[in-house]
Amino acid sequence: MSAIRLGVVEYLNARPLVYGLEKRSDLFELQFHVPAKCASLLYDKSLDLGMIPSIEYLHLPDYHVVPDIAVTSDGPVASVALFTERPANEIRSIAVDASSRTAVALLRILCSEWFEIEPEFVTLQPDLPAMLKRCDAALLIGDTALYAEHESISVHKIDLGEEWKAMTGLPFVWAFWVGRQNAVGAPHVEALRQARDSGLQCLDEIAKAHAPIGKEGDEAEVARDYLRDNMRYVLNDRCRAGLKKFFVSAADLGIVSNTGTLRFF
């Protein structure tokens, strides 16, 4: 069994899924990228398997998913959020970080079905003060959103995972391992499961190793609480139901052209 090119999301929330895999050079060659880059490299066949935003799965009919493993939330996610000084129903323009197309698609759905607004979307670099100078609200994802010091500039944080749960009663699937048919074998799938299970037993270690070093010194505590309280790493029946609802809503809004069918390795 040869080593495959594995595209890993560089954010904190993906670290438990690859715990110890750097020692498995017989099976994996690890590359770290933002979510959208992982998706692009997978589409271009520069990766064999990638942790990609869930909506990217719909782009090719031969994509398959590694079973049972995903980055999900069942309520507040903490790392995907809208920052604004205004109530949600008064937002007229939103600056978006394009690093994850799933987050942008989810935000469009929430605007239409939940907040009942039709804002202008403007793609900008993920710099919160600059984004809020240009627009009424700013979408940030990943570690940038998790550690954003929004209270220091007196803005509200609207958690998109929490809003999705309030609207649907279901978890949200942010990302999962995807590749083309026959891209991975049983040893790869089993190693990914073992990495996830081992990572979940070592969240304190992961948080300490990958939290940024800040002047307040509480980043590791924020990281640990985030991994323990906000993140989930299974793809169960409720998660699949949430994913189906997301795909249907995205298709209804014309964000995607089909609702897809999950195919597993």
The CATH number linked to 106 is 3.40.190.10
Classify burial at 67, counting beta carbons within 10 Å of its beta carbon; exposed 0-12, middle 13-18, buried 19 or more. Answer: middle
Q: Which residue range forms the structural domain that includes residue 154?
A: 80-168
pLDDT at 1 over 80: no
CB 121 within 8 A of CB 255: no
Looking at residues 232-261, what average pLDDT do you find? 97
Helix axes 101-110, 35-43, angle to 10 degrees: 120
Look at residue 124 in the predicted model and tell me its pLDDT: 95
| Neighbour count for residue 228 (Cβ, 10 Å) | 12
Among 76, 94, 98, which residue's Cα sits nearest to residue 84? 94
The answer to whether residue 183 is domain-embedded is yes
| Two tokens, residue 259 | 């609702």
Sheet architecture: strand order including 156-159 = 120-123, 93-96, 137-141, 80-84, 156-159
Look at residue 217 in the predicted model and tell me its pLDDT: 59
Beta strand segments in the chain, E: 4-9, 28-33, 49-53, 63-65, 69-73, 80-84, 93-96, 120-123, 137-141, 156-159, 172-180, 232-234
Per-residue confidence band for 178, with pLDDT thresholds at 50, 70 and 90: very high
* Shared-domain flag, residues 16 and 57: yes
pTM: 0.95
* Shared-domain flag, residues 11 and 42: yes
Look at residue 152 in the predicted model and tell me its pLDDT: 75
* Shared-domain flag, residues 103 and 155: yes
Per-residue confidence band for 216, with pLDDT thresholds at 50, 70 and 90: low
Per-residue confidence band for 147, with pLDDT thresholds at 50, 70 and 90: very high
Domain count across the chain: 2
* Shared-domain flag, residues 179 and 239: yes
**pLDDT single digits (tens) 109-119:** 999 999 999 99
Round to the nearest angstrom and report the end-to-end CA distance of the chain: 16
Per-residue confidence band for 203, with pLDDT thresholds at 50, 70 and 90: very high
Per-residue confidence band for 219, with pLDDT thresholds at 50, 70 and 90: confident
The answer to whether residue 15 is domain-embedded is yes
* Shared-domain flag, residues 56 and 181: yes
* Shared-domain flag, residues 61 and 136: no
**pLDDT single digits (tens) 38-47:** 999 999 999 9
Strand partners, 201: none
